[in-house]
Every structure is written in C-alpha cells, then in structure tokens.
Structure 1
Amino acid sequence: MEYINLFFIALFELSNAMAPYILFGLLFAGILHEFVPDTIVTKHLGKDNIFSVIKATLFGIPLPVCSCGVIPLATSIKKSGASKGATLSFLISTPITGVDSILATYGIFGWIFTIYRVITSMIIAMVAGILTNIFDKEESPVKSGFSAIKASNTLSPTFSLQKKEEASCCSTESSCCSTEKKDFWLTSAFRYAFVTLLGDIAKPLVWGLLLGALITVAIPQSISEILIEYSWISYIIVIAIAVPMYVCATASLPIAAGLMLSGVSAGAAFVFLSAGPATNTVTIGVVKKMLGTRSLAIYLGSIVVGSIIFGLGLDYLFSASDIDPASLIHMHEEVGMIAMLSSVILWGLVGYLLLMKKA
C-alpha cells in the first residue's frame, strides 16, 4: 500500500513539473503553425542533408523549452515537412541548450563547464540527425505532407472544415478571407495545438507519465552514495537513471552540483546533465510513434554514447589541468497553483481526446 501511495505522489509531482511546459510548448507550436508557413520549414529543414540538421540544431539552441515542451514543437515541424534527421536534432539540442539553461549553467558551474556543455550538446544533436538521415531514409516529402494532412483531418474534423470554408471564402471574396484569418488565427492555433498535436501524443504521454512515476519510486534515494561506492560504473548507473527520468535542463543543474559536491566525478555529473534533459519516458514514446523504431535507436544511442564519451573527456580535462571541479560550483522548488492547474487541464484534455478516439 505504501508503494501505491508513493506512486501516486510521484505521478502527481511529475505531472505538476511537466504540465506547464507541455501546455506552453503546445501553444507555442500552435502559434508557430499559424505564422510560419510550412514551405519555410520544408525549405530549410526538409532535406536529408547535413545542412538541415545544422539549421535545426542552431534553431533549437536559444529556445527556452524543456524536454517535454519540445515534444509538440518537434511534432509540429515534422508535420510541416522537416526531415527525420532535422526533427531529431531539434529534439535533442533544444531541451539541453535553452537560453535559460545556459545562463543557469554559467551561474552554478562557470564558463568552462557552460561552453563544454553547449558545444558537446550541439555535436550529439548533429551526429544523431546525420545518422538518422543516413540510416533511416525519409519517404518523399510530398507523401509525408499528405500523411500529415490526413492525420490532421482525422484528429480534428472541425479544424479541417474551417480550412475548407476559408479556402472557398478566398476563392470568392479576398476581403472576406483576410478578415476571417485576422479574427480567428488564435482559435486555429488553439485547435491545432490542443486537438491535432496533443491528440498525436496523448497516448504515449500518458504511458510516459505512468512509467516515469514508477521509475521515480523505484530509484534509490541515496544515489550519490551508490555512485561514489561504484565509481568505475558510475557512468552506466547515471545513464540508467537519467534516460527514463524526467528532469528539465535547469532543474538538472542543482542535482548535478549536489552529486559533484558529494564526491561524484564531474564526468558522471555531466552525463546526467546531458542525458537527463534530452530524454525521458514521454519523449521516448513520442519519438517511437513519430519517427519510428530505427530513429528511436539512433536517438538513444547517440545520447548515451555521446554523453559517456564527453563525460570521460571532461574528467580528462579536469585531471590534466589539476582543477578541482567542485571548486567551480557556486551553489529551490515549490509547486504553485499554476503548476497544479496546468496538470488538471492537461489530464482533462488528454482524457477527453482519448475518449473521443474510442467513441
């Protein structure tokens, strides 16, 4: 009975932590969909080449979006015609290297750690995108675009009907068309965000939250003691904890700092900073559904291998320079009404969409 209570407490806390960012990401994606033409996304991110991957990585760096908020944005650019490689690069670089995360990293760890984190995150994202374009070739963009339209119409018949009405309006009276677009763009953005996109990720989102809560309960509380005792496999232990666990880039910083202050190596703490924000059970489920099993394997493999390699590299840099990583650390969290309200809204929308699909 105690574990059941702990599970629901963990689910409650996880939902509160993720819900505001998921809702923000959905709304942001809906607004982008209204104001950024699909042709721009297709032109810059639609090709299976290295340049689309680089552009997607650079585009994701400044966005202050976490690993759950990036899901609807990635889904949106994929529907707009982005290649699998570009989508995956965006999905990895965005949650690790947002402006808020970069500034917070500098505030806690200083400029050496910050620059290293940003550069290595970009490399991991680009490698994942390039490997995806090589080993998981995209179908023709035109076919992909038709599939997205078909999926959108299936999930949101009212949205489809409105688009048809707008098209007929344009064909008869241009002034009518411009007025309707100006007056109802926000409605269209909300419908695209909270019906079409959320409908796409509703089921993996629920399973991810449930599994994430279960993992949170199962993880030992004394992580740092285990990592210090088994330092030779600390990287593997951190990866096993960080990959399925939800933690945003900013929130991961005090955890990593605490690990380092407890005696865990800087490299192992870096692995947590890299793999933690880039992955979680929710994102894993969505990537599998959106991009397929092969892209999911590349996604996880690139993050795991890249994080371990660069973690070892960081330990080597500190040992070669005789700098104590703990000396670089310049070392808060409460659940407010907005977080709880967001959680209620998210679960309500997800439940409604899942019931509508079954009906």
Structure 2
Amino acid sequence: MNLLLGVLLQSWNILLESSIFILFGLLVSGLLRVFLNPGAVATHLGEGRFRSVFKASLMGIPIPLCSCGVLPAAAALKKQGANNGAVTSFLISTPESGVDSISITYALMDPIMTVMRPVAAFFTAFTAGIAENLLGRPDMFRPVVPDLSCPVDGCCDGVDCAPDVHRRHHGFGEKVTAGLRFAFTDVWGDLALWFLFGLLLSGAITELIPESVFSRYMGGGFSAMLIMLGVGIPIYICATASTPIAAALILQGVSPGAALVFLMVGPATNVTSLTVLTRVLGRRATAIYLTAIAVCAVGFGLLVDRIYHVLGISARAIVGQAGESIPYAIELAGAMIILVLSVKPVWHFLRSRFPDGGRRPGPTGDGSLAAPEHCAGST
C-alpha cells in the first residue's frame, strides 16, 4: 500500500512539474495548426532526407519545451506534412536544449558545457533524423500531400483559393480560438491516454530508483556514463531542472562527460514520452530515436571528458540560483487543467473497451436474445 501511494505521489509530482510545459506545448501545437502554412511545412520538413532533418534539428535548439511539452508540437508538425526524420530531429533537439537551459548552463557551469550542450543536441538530432529517413520504408518517401484546407472551419480547400484571399477569411481571434480548440481536443485526445499511462510508469520507476544512485558509483569513466544513461532514460526531468542537478553531480565528483550524458538523456527521454512516441511514430522509429540518443550521449560524454583533460581545466561548477521556479499554485492549476482535459479521452477509451458497462446481452421478455445495438433493425 505504501509503495502504491509512493508511485502515485511521484506521478503527481511529475505531473505538477510538467503541466505548464505540456499546456505550453499544446498552445504551440494549436498556433502551428492555424498560423503555419502546411505547404511550407511540407516543403521544408517533408521533402528531402537531409535538408528537412537539418532544418528541424536547428529549429528545435532555441525552443524551450521539455520532452513532454514538445510532443504535442511534434504531433502537429507530423499532421502538417513533416516526415518522420524531421519529426524525430525536432523531438530530440527541442527538449535537449533551449534558450533558458543554455543561459542556466552558463550560470551554473562553464563556457565549455554551455557550448557543447546545444552542439551535442543538434548533432544527436541530425543523426537520429538521418537514420530514420535512411532506414525508413520506401513508401515513406513518397511526396507528402498536406491538408491545405482552412484549419479554422474548413471554409475552403486551400487549393482553388488564392493564398492572399485565404488569409483574409478569418481574423486573428478566430484563428487563435480554432487553434486552442484543436490543441485541447484533437491533439490532446490522441496523447492523453498514452501520457497518463507513461506517467504512472515514470512514477513507479522514480519511486524504485534510490536518490543516492546519482552520486554513487559515478566518479567518471565509461562505466559512470553507462550508469547515467540507464538512470536518465526512464525518468522525467526537463532541461532547465536537470542543469542544477548536473552541476551538483560535478561538485560531488562526477565527470563533466557523465554529467553531459545526464543533460542529454534526461530531458529527451522518459517512459512517458517513449510511450507517446510509439503511438505517434511507431516502434521502429522510437527504437532509432532512443538508440541515437544513447550512442551520441556517450560519445559526446567521452569527448567532453577528453576536452577538459587536454585543456587541463577543472570541471568544478559555480553553483548559483537557477532562476525562479514556477509557483506551486500555477503548477497545481496546470495539473488540474491537464486532468480535466483528460477526462473525455479516457471516458471514450473506457466506453470503447467496455460498451454498455460490460454487460452481455441477456434474454428478453419473450425468451429471445436481445440483438446488439448495431444490429437493431437489420434484416
């Protein structure tokens, strides 16, 4: 019983930490839907095995979204015509880096880590995206046909309507309203069940892993990086929150390379995001995503340790304030909004799995069996 309560508490804490980022990600997905030209997305992120991946990797570096918050935005890009490689790249570079985490890295660590963090994020994203596009099935590379119809109310198909005319069909307020409706109904409806399932798994893993594992047996070397890899993949932690933890680990004797592994893997992977990725991109693409992150993280970790050794620089961090955290009241409000938005998708899932409350058709008053609802009136 205590273990169950601990898992639920960990899951609730993770939801609190991620709720605002998820809502922000949903907001981004809605705005992408109504303001981003699907034709432009298909051109820049849907065509070309290399060019689209490069653009997606670069585009994700400055955006401050965590691994959960980036999922809705990536799902929107997928629906707008982006190929799997570009979506994979965006899913890696965005949570691994961001303008906020870069600035905090500079404040808490040093210029080397500040530079290597976004560079490693870009290289990892580009590698994973290229691998996805090269190893993808041939039919994945057929020309993308994006949905050009009006995203607000479908007033035109976007093909026979001139772009300048199409842009004047709806005002700014109408587009924002339609974007929010799309984000909080369609997008979250696709992700809610998988997110909640992954949230419980994340809570269980977080509850079972002792806190001392972060500072014990990881004094440096390849084995320390493998341990950090194993710890960082399943847990949830955003790029900003991972920075002070990594700084503290360095102060406790963990090598900067092992700390970089944690900074790359922790924000980009967790059980929650991996379960949703399986839904959005499929199991094969998720395997490529995870393998690329693991290999590149260890590779860059070894490279960073080598750089510090050659330059003779101590990796001691200058620990300071990482910035004001989000007030608890706002986190609580965000978590409650997420739960409220999840009621309808969960209810529809339960209704589809257990129709009529799970009751089996029984005998009618005349002794015959009642026909199933979908067969009523048939001959």
Superposition TM-score, scaled by structure 2 size: 0.84
Deviation at 1:50, TM superposition (A): 0.7
CA distance in 2, matches of 1:317, 1:175: 56
CA distance in 2, matches of 1:186, 1:55: 26
- Matched with 2:87 is 87
CA distance in 2, matches of 1:330, 1:43: 44
- Matched with 1:280 is 270
- Matched with 2:356 is none
Deviation at 1:260, TM superposition (A): 0.9
2:80, 2:146 within 8 Å by CA — same for their partners in 1? Answer: yes
- Relative to structure 1, the CA distance from residue 73 to residue 334 in structure 2 (aligned partners, 3 Å threshold; closer, same or farther) is closer
Deviation at 1:224, TM superposition (A): 3.7
1:48, 1:85 within 8 Å by CA — same for their partners in 2? Answer: no
- Matched with 2:374 is none
Give runs of aligned pairs for residues 196-211 of structure 1, distance below 5 A: 196-211=186-201
- Relative to structure 1, the CA distance from residue 140 to residue 230 in structure 2 (aligned partners, 3 Å threshold; closer, same or farther) is closer
- Is residue 191 of structure 1 aligned with residue 192 of structure 2? no
Give runs of aligned pairs for residues 20-39 of structure 1, distance below 5 A: 20-39=20-39
Deviation at 1:32, TM superposition (A): 1.8
Give runs of aligned pairs for residues 273-352 of structure 1, distance below 5 A: 273-326=263-316, 328-331=317-320, 336-352=328-344
CA distance in 2, matches of 1:121, 1:136: 22
- Relative to structure 1, the CA distance from residue 141 to residue 349 in structure 2 (aligned partners, 3 Å threshold; closer, same or farther) is farther
- Matched with 1:104 is 104
> Which stretch of the first structure deviates more once superposed, 184-193 or 117-126?
184-193
CA distance in 2, matches of 1:317, 1:39: 44
Q: Specify which of 270, 277, 291 is matched with residue 260 of structure 2.
A: 270
Aligned-partner residue type, residue 354 of structure 1: V
Following TM superposition, the consecutive aligned residue runs of length 4 or more in structure 1 with deviations greater than 6 angstroms are: 174-177
Aligned-partner residue type, residue 167 of structure 1: C
CA distance in 2, matches of 1:193, 1:4: 32
CA distance in 1, matches of 2:71, 2:282: 15
Deviation at 1:178, TM superposition (A): 4.4
Deviation at 1:225, TM superposition (A): 4.1
CA distance in 2, matches of 1:64, 1:125: 16
- Relative to structure 1, the CA distance from residue 182 to residue 234 in structure 2 (aligned partners, 3 Å threshold; closer, same or farther) is closer
CA distance in 2, matches of 1:304, 1:77: 24
- Matched with 1:154 is none
Deviation at 1:335, TM superposition (A): 5.3
- Matched with 1:223 is 213
1:46, 1:141 within 8 Å by CA — same for their partners in 2? Answer: no
Deviation at 1:5, TM superposition (A): 2.2
- Matched with 1:18 is 18
CA distance in 2, matches of 1:354, 1:244: 24
Paired positions, count? 344
Q: Specify which of 153, 159, 167 is matched with residue 156 of structure 2.
A: 167
- Matched with 2:376 is none
CA distance in 1, matches of 2:15, 2:250: 28
- Matched with 1:253 is 243
Deviation at 1:140, TM superposition (A): 5.4
CA distance in 1, matches of 2:269, 2:215: 24
1:53, 1:126 within 8 Å by CA — same for their partners in 2? Answer: yes
- Matched with 2:59 is 59
Q: Specify which of 339, 345, 353 is matched with residue 345 of structure 2.
A: 353
Deviation at 1:199, TM superposition (A): 1.1
- Matched with 2:369 is none
2:57, 2:93 within 8 Å by CA — same for their partners in 1? Answer: yes
Aligned-partner residue type, residue 89 of structure 2: S
Aligned-partner residue type, residue 273 of structure 1: L
Name whichever structure is richer in helix by fraction: 1
Deviation at 1:25, TM superposition (A): 0.6
- Relative to structure 1, the CA distance from residue 79 to residue 236 in structure 2 (aligned partners, 3 Å threshold; closer, same or farther) is same
Aligned-partner residue type, residue 31 of structure 2: I
SS in structure 1 at match of 2:211: coil
2:61, 2:121 within 8 Å by CA — same for their partners in 1? Answer: no
Aligned-partner residue type, residue 208 of structure 1: G
Aligned-partner residue type, residue 201 of structure 1: L
1:20, 1:342 within 8 Å by CA — same for their partners in 2? Answer: yes
- Matched with 1:156 is none
CA distance in 2, matches of 1:325, 1:88: 32
CA distance in 2, matches of 1:141, 1:163: 28
- Relative to structure 1, the CA distance from residue 222 to residue 177 in structure 2 (aligned partners, 3 Å threshold; closer, same or farther) is closer
